[in-house]
Chain A
Amino acid sequence: MGSQVSIIRPSYLPEIELFRPSSIDGVFECIKDGARVLAGGTDLLPWASQHGQPRKMVWIGNVEPLHGFSVDDERLQIGACVTQGELIRCADFRRAAPAVADSVQFVGSVQLRNQATLLGNVCSASPAGDTLPALLVHEAQVEITGAPGQERQVSLDDFLLAPGKTMLAPGELASGVSFCGLRANEMSAYRRHTERRALDLAVASVAARLVFEADGYTVAGARVALGAVGPTALVAIEAAKSLVGHPLTGETKSICAAIAAETCKPISDFRASADYRRQLVKVLVEDVIGEIEQRARIFKPNGEGR
């Protein structure tokens, strides 16, 4: 037997040719030239240290328009350079998208969140990426710019293809992400299981967003999404559907959890086995719905619904 793999490359950053344009046009020139987009760098730079590539990067932090974010009644629009730290400090964001706010708070550590961007977490497309299930239940759309002026919106569900793979084509830039804010009678939440309380990857995670009828009990609409139990974050359509038209009870929650656990596609690896991940999904779905119920109550005047 012989082998071609000769060495373990020492984990140090390679020489990097770094471009720092201040306009979108400049960014596109670099992308066309083969440069990888560098925003917060919390995923890309450790990757580059370990793998010795990419060696050409374009930092988009100098492009002013990519730093914008807006929260209006209907939708939140987050530019590519907006850090998770910035978002979490914004009260309007926390109110408008509680599940996304929950999920951002789990990412890495304070220092990492102050460096890492929300869109970076999306583009890394990790099956365990914390913000992905939360963004899915908030109906996120990724804004893809093919060239200056050529923009299209792709739903996050379509955008995520496989671990580390998105539908972003060579020469394209993910320039922002937008998602729905909560409307009246809606609430969302995100929960995950980790072995450690901080600085950890989700072994399984669940986000949900529920719309209640005017009575405050009956579920009028539901979205459930799962993380770390499939090649990408998954929308659990059947599980969500099972809730609609019923009031939340122990039974409806457990039916929803059972469907989610059944329909997810976990793998076994050194972090956890597939059947344990299914069990976690079952527990987390009920927990998340319970959390939503509680939050919905708190937001109601006079504690109605108690």
Chain B
Amino acid sequence: MTMPMRIQPIVESAVTSDNRHPAAEISRRIFRPWKIRREDVVGWLFVLPALTMYVVFVIVPFLSTIQYSFFKWNGVSPATWVGLKNYASIFQAPNLIGTVINAFLLVLWFSVIPVGLGLVVASVIHRVATGRLGEIARTVLFLPQVIPLVAAGIIWGWLLALPGLINQILKAFGLGMLTRAWLGDFDTALPAVGMVGIWVLLGFCIVLLLTGMSKVDPSLYESARIDGAGWFKEFMAITVPLLRYEIGVCLTVTVVAALAAFDIIWVTTAGGPGSSTSVPGVQIYILGFTQRAIGPASALAVMLMALVVLVIIPIQFLTKEIKQ
């Protein structure tokens, strides 16, 4: 850390907006980078509220979680140090592997499909539905992000129930043999939850990708069209390569949403039937808040975080490379 030092402004006819001599300013920037400038202090002051919140609500709980994972504690009584026993107990849980597999299966529904479909839909909107129609389409598709998930979970519960709308539509089309309680059937519960995930995450991907597309120089598309490129060729040769950064962001957010899933599962199936839609996030909740076993819950949370980081690092790495 450098010592703070007051900068004396040199008053001359030509000065910077904050009353400093441009030459002095430049030379100071070049030759004395270790001095703390007023901009830095002001900058940090601007960051301070957000930083405080981040430290209090992210960094401290994060460190506390690691700490709790080595203790036997019910949240109230004195905690006892148990070393790595909580981690060992997690591995003894009978359905742990099953919940991790479910989380990876959700990557298909929460990440691959929303990003893939998002690219296609965004590209169509960008090409066809410009102006008012595009705005309406964007708004409608983004709406699921705005609707509180608990309400959405209840509505999806009705839609997917045996007497629900989806089965009624199937019957109307003569597909009565397909009707079932989609969220209560061992074979269809996870895909049904996956559909809810697509509904929630698709709009986010589309909006992000559309923003990226609007930055692409239209002359590129123009010249491609002059060269006779169709929609698909244009999509593969221009849209996808130039949107790699946005795709990276979408992938990161949605993969985290899949692996660390809790809310969508909790409001639709709570992990059932059996444990066919249970994921580590649900297990952490039950351990911590139902069973009041804070130690094992924290241990599982730390392990889940490590898993998410392991999966996300390659995606981040690719994104960075492309950015350069």
Q: Indicate whether A and B interact.
A: no
